[in-house]
Homo-oligomer: A and B are copies of this chain.
Amino acid sequence: MATRERTRKARSREQRHDYLLSEAQLEEMYYYMLLARRLSERMLILNRQGRAPFVIAGAGQEAAQVGAAMALERGTDYLAPYYRDLAMNLVFGMTAREAMLNVLGKRDDPNSYGRQMPAHWSSPARRIVTQSSVVATQLVHAVGIALGARLRGEQLVVMACCGEGATSRGDFHEALNFAAIHRLPVIFFVENNGYAISERTEKEMPVPHVADRARAYDMHAAIVDGMDCVAVYQTVKPAVDQARRGGGPWLIEAKCYRLWAHSSEDDDTRYRPRKELEEWAKKDPITVFRERVLADGIFPREDLEEIEAHVEEEVRDAVEWALAQPDPAPEDALTHVYKEY
The 6 closest A-B pairs by CB, nearest first: A170-B170, A173-B173, A180-B206, A216-B216, A215-B215, A213-B216
CB < 8 Å neighbour of A218 from B169, B170, B181, B206? B206
CA–CA, A181 and B168, complex, Å? 11
CB < 8 Å neighbour of A174 from B170, B202, B207, B213? B170
A339 is an interface residue with CB less than 8 A from chain B: no
CA–CA, A206 and B217, complex, Å? 6
A203 is an interface residue with CB less than 8 A from chain B: yes
Q: What number of A residues sit within 8 Å (CB to CB) of B?
A: 24
- Residues of chain B lying within 8 A (CB to CB) of residue A206: 177, 180-181, 217-219
Q: CB-nearest residue of chain B relative to A217?
A: B206
CA–CA, A216 and B212, complex, Å? 6
CB-defined interface of A172-194 with B at 8 Å, one 1/0 digit per residue?
11100100110000000000000
Measured CB to CB, the residues of A under 8 A from B are 168-174, 177, 180-181, 202-207, 212-219
CA–CA, A270 and B324, complex, Å? 66
CB-based contact A207/B213 at 8 Å: no
CA–CA, A216 and B169, complex, Å? 13
- Residues of chain B lying within 8 A (CB to CB) of residue A181: 202-206
- How many copies of this chain? 2
- Residues of chain B lying within 8 A (CB to CB) of residue A205: 177, 181, 217
User: Could you give 25 example pairs across A and B, Cβ below 8 Å?
Assistant: A168-B173, A168-B177, A169-B173, A170-B170, A170-B171, A170-B173, A170-B174, A172-B173, A173-B174, A177-B205, A177-B206, A181-B202, A181-B204, A181-B206, A205-B217, A206-B217, A206-B218, A206-B219, A207-B216, A207-B217, A212-B215, A212-B216, A212-B218, A213-B216, A215-B215
For residue A268, give the distance in angstroms from its CB to the closest CB of chain B: 22
For residue A188, give the distance in angstroms from its CB to the closest CB of chain B: 13
For residue A182, give the distance in angstroms from its CB to the closest CB of chain B: 9
CA–CA, A272 and B205, complex, Å? 39
CA–CA, A323 and B216, complex, Å? 47
For residue A140, give the distance in angstroms from its CB to the closest CB of chain B: 10
Q: CB-nearest residue of chain B relative to A175?
A: B170
For residue A185, give the distance in angstroms from its CB to the closest CB of chain B: 15
CB < 8 Å neighbour of A169 from B174, B214, B215, B219? B174
For residue A313, give the distance in angstroms from its CB to the closest CB of chain B: 47
- Residues of chain B lying within 8 A (CB to CB) of residue A170: 169-171, 173-174
CA–CA, A181 and B218, complex, Å? 22
Q: Which of A177, A217, A218 has the most B CB atoms < 10 Å from its CB?
A: A177
- Residues of chain B lying within 8 A (CB to CB) of residue A174: 168-170, 173
Q: What 20 additional pairs, Cβ within 8 angstroms, besides A168-B174, A181-B202?
A: A168-B173, A168-B177, A170-B170, A170-B171, A170-B173, A170-B174, A172-B173, A173-B174, A177-B206, A181-B203, A181-B204, A181-B205, A181-B206, A206-B219, A207-B216, A207-B217, A212-B218, A213-B216, A215-B215, A216-B216
